[in-house]
């Protein structure tokens, strides 16, 4: 197995080369029996030497035709006549659509199924992540805060808005001590980042996610290791932010560099800190509320998309807490 790379041009050329939802790349993978992974500035083609060379030759031929006929290509037969690929030139606005109705497709998962917002608030969340450089998603478990943040990050990467994705999470145990964890840094923090991995597996597939991690297109960083860094040209996600201290939250937010976006997610009802009043996420929502460039999206139990029982469980706990508070 070998891996060779094809260098990409500007955003529009890249979109035309890959095809809408990577249809051109998928057809080349099927035809030549290779794997093609899109990076920020290259396409990595993996497989046997002969097949890789054939696939790269087709990619280079297509790239040359796109450059010479950029606004005129329509249904060009580039794969030996087996299938016509629609390469009609489209604007970036068309290929990177704004989200309209709740059912508008925003991504295609690794299994080929479309991903779309399932509530009005989820739609507003996706729109906010497209528009603002810093978005905070607040709400209970199961409302899609983390999953949709990952979708937004992959959209930004796919369409050349950023060059990498940075994932971070505070390492705080949810009520039980896990003790010493063997292995290297990534093996130690893997249990804490599993929800993020699950989202990437569904959207990219395990193999493509692994390749992205290996070349650090997707970078996983424990929150404690973020100090001193500047995150530039990247989409950064801080998950489970309710378990940060005010100092940690300030540290993370001030890592933002040029051409970067940040999304911070948290559930203020599930704080696992010893001193719940010291939640950096809760503190930041108060401190930053008057900055118009920072957008906060609040979810409720109406936005929960897990098993229907989850809504009832959350409502039951909320009602119990309110009754207990009234007795005091």
Query: 144: domain CATH number?
Result: 3.40.50.300
pLDDT of residue 184: 58
**Judging by DSSP bridges, how do beta strands 218-220 and 134-138 pair with one another?**
unpaired
197 shares its domain with 280: yes
73 shares its domain with 158: no
Poorest-pLDDT segment among 94-108, 239-253, 283-297: 94-108
CA angle at 194 for the pair 191 and 195, rounded to the nearest 5°:
140
How does residue 112 score in pLDDT terms, banded at 50, 70 and 90? Answer: confident
148 shares its domain with 228: yes
pLDDT digits (tens, 9 = 90+) for 170-192: 876 444 344 555 555 566 666 66
pLDDT digits (tens, 9 = 90+) for 3-26: 888 877 766 677 778 877 778 888
138 shares its domain with 269: yes
- The C-alpha atoms of residue 166 and residue 192 are separated, in whole angstroms, by 15
pLDDT of residue 225: 83
179 shares its domain with 270: yes
104 shares its domain with 150: yes
318 token code pair: 């909320």
Percent of the chain with pLDDT over 90: 29
pLDDT of residue 325: 67
pLDDT digits (tens, 9 = 90+) for 220-239: 888 888 888 999 999 999 99
More confident residue, 162 or 263: 263
221 shares its domain with 238: yes
Residue 64 scores a pLDDT above 90: no
Poorest-pLDDT segment among 1-5, 148-152, 239-243, 320-324: 320-324
pLDDT of residue 70: 54
- Return mean pLDDT, the chain: 79
pLDDT of residue 93: 35
Residue 133 scores a pLDDT above 90: yes
How does residue 126 score in pLDDT terms, banded at 50, 70 and 90? Answer: very high
More confident residue, 196 or 258: 258
**Residues ≥6 apart with Cβ < 8 Å to 253:** 134, 262, 264, 284
Mean predicted confidence (pLDDT) in 192-207: 82
252 shares its domain with 283: yes
Residue 85 scores a pLDDT above 50: no
More confident residue, 91 or 301: 301
Are 167 and 218 contacting, i.e. CB atoms less than 8 angstroms apart?
yes
Range of the domain at 68: 2-93
How does residue 138 score in pLDDT terms, banded at 50, 70 and 90? Answer: very high
**Residues ≥6 apart with Cβ < 8 Å to 139:** 145, 267, 298, 299, 300, 303
């Amino acid at each position: 197995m070998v891996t060779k790379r094809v260098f990409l041009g500007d955003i529009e050329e890249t979109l035309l080369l890959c095809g809408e939802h990577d249809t051109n790349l998928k057809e080349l993978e099927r035809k030549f029996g290779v794997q093609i992974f899109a990076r920020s500035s290259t396409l990595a083609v993996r497989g046997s030497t002969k097949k890789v060379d054939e696939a790269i030759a087709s990619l280079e031929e297509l790239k040359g035709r796109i450059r010479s006929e950029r606004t005129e290509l329509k249904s060009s037969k580039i794969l030996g006549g087996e299938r016509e690929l629609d390469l009609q030139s489209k604007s970036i606005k068309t290929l990177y659509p704004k989200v309209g109705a709740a059912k508008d497709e925003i991504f295609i998962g690794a299994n080929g199924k479309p991903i779309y917002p399932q509530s009005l608030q989820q739609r507003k969340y996706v729109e906010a992540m497209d528009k603002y450089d810093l978005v905070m998603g607040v709400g209970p478990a199961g409302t899609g805060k983390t999953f949709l943040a990952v979708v937004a990050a992959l959209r930004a990467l796919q369409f050349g808005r950023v060059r990498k994705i940075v994932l971070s999470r505070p390492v705080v145990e949810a009520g039980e001590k896990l003790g010493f964890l063997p292995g290297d840094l990534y093996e130690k923090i893997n249990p804490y980042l599993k929800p993020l991995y699950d989202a990437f597996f569904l959207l990219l597939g395990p193999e493509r996610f692994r390749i992205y991690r290996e070349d650090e297109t997707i970078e996983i960083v424990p929150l404690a290791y973020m100090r001193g860094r500047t995150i530039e040209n990247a989409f950064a996600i801080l998950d489970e932010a309710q378990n940060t201290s005010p100092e940690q939250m300030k540290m993370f937010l001030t890592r933002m560099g040029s051409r970067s976006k940040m999304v911070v997610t948290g559930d203020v009802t599930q704080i696992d800190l010893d001193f719940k009043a010291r939640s950096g996420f809760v503190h930041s929502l108060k401190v930053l509320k008057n900055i118009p460039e920072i957008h906060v999206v609040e979810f409720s139990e109406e936005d929960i998309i897990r098993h229907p029982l989850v809504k009832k469980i959350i409502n039951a706990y909320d009602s119990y807490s309110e009754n207990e508070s009234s007795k005091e």
